[in-house]
Amino acid sequence: MALRTQISERQKRFGAELRRLREAAGLAVKDAGATIGMGGPQLSHIEAARTGLDPARLTTLLDAYGCTDETYMAILHELGASDGKGWWTEFKGKVPALALDLAEVEDRAVSLASYDSLYIPGAFQLPGYARAIYESSNRSGIWEPETQVRFRMERQRILADGGRREFLFVVHEAALRMRFAGDDVMRAQLLHLVDMAELPNVTIQVIPFTAPKHAPLSASFLFCDPGCADLSTVILDAPRHAEHLGDQADIVAYRRKLQQLSDVALPAVDTSGSLRDLSARSSLGLIQHLLYLLQS
């Protein structure tokens, strides 16, 4: 089998998990390879995600590694079957590779949670808002802004899956006050945020500037769970790159960090309450206040 020339982040995660399991079992790569009838160098290629592994051999290998968690093994089989292709494939070469990897990880997740410090979460961005971001950041001229906007809109299909996924979005107030896209766009964007909060599987919370004992994080991150906590991925967002973290220590640390952020945030946006409920501080009340300011 020819070695891959391009490797997706999910394929890398599959190889990394196999290496972690082998090392935890105390097996040398040569000995582990022998259990499935292949040499050490071939298994090394698999662990480096340069090539895949058929399901039957994967089952045998997991048995040799002492795996007993059926959920973990089922999700790992899905990772191993990944060919990196999906709706995002048509955008290959038209948007950054990191965007393709992000779309694939999101597409396979059953729950997603994010913290955003300076921008409205991508899942809720309207075309005008996304366009303002891409036009201002496209200094090199490599990526066509309209194509990136279309790609971002396509990514939002994860919201229209009949409630199969659960979403938690924690957004800092700073992101809601940015007016780089213009007042009209921002007004529409905030109203859209409230509309999206009405979806039964979507929770949106806002961290106010006045949150006590909380030093705001400048870096945004996304927590993707494919249905098995041990195979979750944390994606750290940066202007020119995205880092995918899969070590257990990182997963635990960012899960705890996300919970802390949710704890200091205002109660989630809820449009089902009475007018009396609006007297209490809430994410909806803060958004309504910002909408009022945009009218002046």
Using H for helix, E for strand and C for coil, what is the string for 4-46? CCCCCHHHHHHHHHHHHHHHHCCCCHHHHHHCCCCCHHHHHHH
CATH 3.30.870.10 assigned to domain 91-295? The reply is yes
In three-state secondary structure terms, 114 is: strand
Angle between helices 127-137 and 145-155 (to 10 degrees): 140
Residue 12 has pLDDT above 90, yes or no: yes
On whether the 9-80 domain is CATH 3.40.710.10, my answer is no
- Please state whether beta strands 233-237 and 242-245 pair in parallel, antiparallel, or not at all (unpaired): antiparallel
Torsion of CA 16, 20, 22, 24, to 10 degrees: 180
Band of residue 47 on the pLDDT scale cut at 50, 70, 90: very high
Polymer length in residues for the chain: 296
pLDDT for residue 264: 93
| Residue 165: predicted pLDDT | 92
User: Model confidence over 84-135: pLDDT tens digits?
Assistant: 889 999 999 999 999 999 999 999 999 999 999 999 999 999 999 999 999 8
Contact at 8 Å (CB) between 143 and 149?
no
Looking at the chain, list the stretches that DSSP marks H as alpha helix, in order from N- to C-terminal side: 9-24, 29-34, 40-47, 55-64, 70-80, 97-108, 127-137, 145-155, 173-177, 183-196, 248-264, 283-295
**9-80 and 91-295, same CATH topology:** no
Element (H, E) at 182: none
Residue ranges of the domains in the chain?
Answer: 9-80, 91-295
